[in-house]
Amino acid sequence: MTINNLLNSPGEWLRGDGPHSNIVVSSRVRIARNLRNFPFPGWAKKADRISVLECVKPAVDALPEMGEAYSIFSQDFSALEKQVLVERHLISREHAAKGLGSAVVMNKKQTLSIMINEEDHLRMQSIRSGLNLKSAFKLIDKVDTELADKLDFAFHPQLGFLTACPTNVGTGMRASAMMHLPALVLSEQINQVIQAVSKVGLAVRGLYGEGTEALGNLFQISNQVTLGEAEGDIITRLNKVIEQIIHHEVNARQGLLQKKPVTLLDNVGRAYGVLRYAHSMASKEALNLLSYLKLGVDLAFFPEEFQHVIDALFIETQPAHLQKGSAKKLQAEERDTLRAQIIRGKLVSFPPPDADRALAGGGSPPAE
Amino acid sequence: MTINNLLNSPGEWLRGDGPHSNIVVSSRVRIARNLRNFPFPGWAKKADRISVLECVKPAVDALPEMGEAYSIFSQDFSALEKQVLVERHLISREHAAKGLGSAVVMNKKQTLSIMINEEDHLRMQSIRSGLNLKSAFKLIDKVDTELADKLDFAFHPQLGFLTACPTNVGTGMRASAMMHLPALVLSEQINQVIQAVSKVGLAVRGLYGEGTEALGNLFQISNQVTLGEAEGDIITRLNKVIEQIIHHEVNARQGLLQKKPVTLLDNVGRAYGVLRYAHSMASKEALNLLSYLKLGVDLAFFPEEFQHVIDALFIETQPAHLQKGSAKKLQAEERDTLRAQIIRGKLVSFPPPDADRALAGGGSPPAE
């Protein structure tokens, strides 16, 4: 299948219909593997990189899980196309920077993606909608076993799998969930949650991983440790913590609905008003405002059918997705204008937030 | 007429139909006078204040210009009622703080208001809609002449009229215009204008006079000097400068429409969206957002008939006006909720900004 097929068909996780998908946007598990007797990609000469690619790619292409796959050499992607995949979390920023000697192979549903010659020789990832860490892990574990039959992975009896960066040595696994936590932010409980999560050895990051901001009230929760704990145990522990955070977010939403309905309505209403009538909007602002619309749907301020419109806008308003849809190269200012125009177009049939839909009568303020 | 009559009928200047009233909200001329042989109010003992009041009030009440007047002792106003008059610029903040021994007399149209025992024994003011400095001065000048026949004003042959504060000595006159200058602010030319105005001996202040912020892009331009220049000359000079500022504002609006239509639409659209769908709003934010709606009407983004709705909201959303309309004493948070509710109610039949109404076809972005 061609790059265009790939770019024009959003993957499974973007449909947003997995378990708890109102709070857990997506679950991801990735593992890092390297071939014995070859230098890591960052250290390898071009010839070595190409040898690794020639050895690994056929094995990956042949995986039964890949089926009719997208299998594309990095040099065949334009910078824009790579950026689109980064925005969909299908390849890493690091991989986007690679050229000759790298490749990515993805199944049609885009639930499985394997990068060759990123930081490690292999980075295999499964991404799923909602809280789906276990099934994501199951898939990756199976693929790993199948590839281990054909490829000679660098493995140390004491340390486990060897990786380019020491923080990945051992299992080579990073499991994460992207969570939408607007009520914990609004009720100022988020820092408490982040601290508690850090104490149990998990990391909280922003939308695009390490060192990025928590735009749109989106937080990525992941394991930090890859050494001394079995993969299944890590997944179970992470899953449990995520369920607790879901519980806190649900409570925070209920608390706000009961104690601060006006604050909630005000935030959702303002976001709606600005998104619907602005004529220029940066991508960060769009994410932050869309977060309140998403919350609004979850709280039944908006009809449920708008969930997919909003989820789609989270991705479609990202810079590369915007550029992809345009015939000519856009400057930042033109992107901001186009972004606002697209959002206005999507919201035109969108009614304003209606508190009565959510609040059980009584002292609730009118929506208009 | 009673206080309630006064509070429930907005004065002439609030109707916003004077010359250039899209840019000049109101024109005001006030003069300060004091009685010879009595200490200034700030220095006077209670008995002196009452003597002054008993001497001045009958003369003011009897002015033919007052007609069927509001004539009210300060102690008969509640703090809230005084605050309403301050928000309408009919009495000063200083006068609002006075109790026994002070009074205010106003004509029915509220174009003429005379405070007794404010900072000076008499502060006579005329306020008119639009650019109307000359007629405001004419009225005050006439009243001054009439009162001078009955009252013995403190006058020094070299210095002119004596006043409590030396900055008023001479003519005792302060003439000012309240200007709405959003395009000079948006195009970042406002500081240049303020500097130029200061250089010719005029002052630029915020909405409620000295030391207040320029909320809602409203700027008060007034004369600084009261000594050595005849009243008529001051008025003529001020009028000329104001006409120049109107010219600059009009040019800035045209410039923005031609060069930055998206920025304009974006500002107006966002203001519209937030005002229409917020559920809590502080009075400062309301003024700043209403300013863009007012600009939107001037630019024909909105139908002209909304001008009066917006002009009324400028006053009706002020804290004391809000409180006046409510049966119980409101906390700040409750006022913010009520303010947002009133604004939403007024905007419900208000269409979104429409660029096509203003921009002559071609290259203009769609409003929706």
pLDDT digits (tens, 9 = 90+) for B42-83: 889 999 999 999 999 999 999 999 998 899 888 888 889 888
B280 inside 8 A of chain A by CB: yes
Question: What confidence tier does A301 reach under pLDDT thresholds 50, 70, 90?
Answer: very high
**pLDDT tens for residues B22-36?**
899 999 999 999 999
Compute the nearest-CA separation of A12 from chain B (Å): 31
The two three-digit tokens of residue B292, written as one number: 């863009």
> What are the structural domains, with CATH classification, of chain A?
3-252 (3.30.590.10), 260-361 (no CATH)
pLDDT of residue B355: 78
| Residues in chain A closer than 8 A to B262 (CB atoms) | 279-280, 337
The two three-digit tokens of residue B31, written as one number: 């003069």
Compute the nearest-CA separation of B279 from chain A (Å): 4
Judged by CB atoms within 8 Å, which residues 233-262 of A form the interface with B?
Answer: 262
Q: Where are the alpha helices (DSSP H) in chain A?
A: 3-8, 46-61, 79-87, 93-96, 133-150, 182-186, 190-199, 231-259, 261-277, 283-298, 307-316, 319-324, 332-347, 355-358
Question: What confidence tier does B210 reach under pLDDT thresholds 50, 70, 90?
Answer: low
| Residues in chain B closer than 8 A to A269 (CB atoms) | 277-279
End-to-end CA distance of chain A: 50
Q: Is the pLDDT of residue A171 over 60?
A: yes
The two three-digit tokens of residue B155, written as one number: 């006058």
Say how many CA atoms lie within 13 Å of B52 toward its Cβ.
Answer: 31
B279:A272 CB<8 A: no
Q: Is the pLDDT of residue B344 over 60?
A: yes
Question: What confidence tier does B225 reach under pLDDT thresholds 50, 70, 90?
Answer: confident
Q: How far apart are alpha carbons A249 and A252 in whole angstroms?
A: 5
Q: How far apart are alpha carbons B94 and B114 in whole angstroms?
A: 14
Q: Which of A262, A337, A344 sits opposite B279 (nearest CB)?
A: A262
The two three-digit tokens of residue B68, written as one number: 């069927």
> Among positive and negative, which fits the CA dihedral A362, A271, A214, B285?
negative
Q: Rg of chain B over CA atoms, in angstroms? A: 22
Over residues A192-209, the mean pLDDT reads: 85
Measure the CA angle with vertex B12, ends B55 and B326; round to 5°.
90
Considering only alpha carbons, which residue of chain B is nearest residue A334? B262
Max avg pLDDT among A5-19, A178-192, A199-213: A178-192
Burial level of A67, CB count in 10 A (0-12/13-18/19+)?
exposed
B351 inside 8 A of chain A by CB: no
**pLDDT tens for residues B98-144?**
778 899 999 999 999 999 999 999 999 999 999 999 999 999 999 99
Q: What is the ipTM of this complex?
A: 0.86
Are A342 and A280 contacting, i.e. CB atoms less than 8 angstroms apart?
Answer: no
B366 inside 8 A of chain A by CB: yes
pLDDT of residue B17: 80
Fill in the DSSP letter of residue B188: T
Q: Is the pLDDT of residue A5 over 90?
A: no
Question: What confidence tier does A235 reach under pLDDT thresholds 50, 70, 90?
Answer: very high
3-state SS, B96-154, equals HCCCCCCEEEECCCCCEEEEECCCCCEEEEEEEECCCHHHHHHHHHHHHHHHHHHCCEC
B47 inside 8 A of chain A by CB: no
The gap from C-alpha B340 to its chain's centroid, in whole angstroms, comes to 23
The gap from C-alpha A299 to its chain's centroid, in whole angstroms, comes to 23
Q: Which of B262, B279, B365 sits opposite A265 (nearest CB)?
A: B279
Q: How far apart are alpha carbons A353 and A289 in whole angstroms?
A: 14
pLDDT of residue B362: 34
Size of interface A-B (CB pairs under 8 A): 68
Of A359-368, B56-65, B279-288, B310-319, which gets the smallest average pLDDT? A359-368
Report helix, strand or coil for A175.
strand
| Among the listed residues A329, A290, A331, A330, the one whose alpha carbon sits nearest the alpha carbon of residue A311 | A290
**pLDDT tens for residues A64-112?**
999 988 998 888 888 898 899 888 888 888 877 777 889 999 999 999 9
Q: Is the pLDDT of residue A361 over 60?
A: no
> Among positive and negative, which fits the CA dihedral A274, A275, A280, A283?
positive
- For A201-229, letters b (16+ CB in 10 Å) and e give ebbbbbbbbeeeebbbbbbbbbbeebeee
Q: How far apart are alpha carbons A260 and A255 in whole angstroms?
A: 8
Which single residue is written with the structure tokens 């959702």? A268
**pLDDT tens for residues B345-366?**
999 989 999 877 665 433 334 4
DSSP result, A297-333: HHTTSS-GGGHHHHHHHHHHTSHHHHHHT-SSPPPHH
How many residues make up chain B in this entry? 368
Q: Is the pLDDT of residue B181 over 70?
A: yes
Compute the nearest-CA separation of A271 from chain B (Å): 8
**pLDDT tens for residues A62-73?**
999 999 889 988
Q: Compute the mean pLDDT over every residue in chain A, rounded to the nearest whole number.
A: 90
Higher per-residue confidence, B9 vs B166: B166
Q: How far apart are alpha carbons B86 and B82 in whole angstroms?
A: 6
Higher per-residue confidence, A140 vs B16: A140
pLDDT of residue A366: 40
Over residues A193-214, the mean pLDDT reads: 79
pLDDT of residue B367: 39
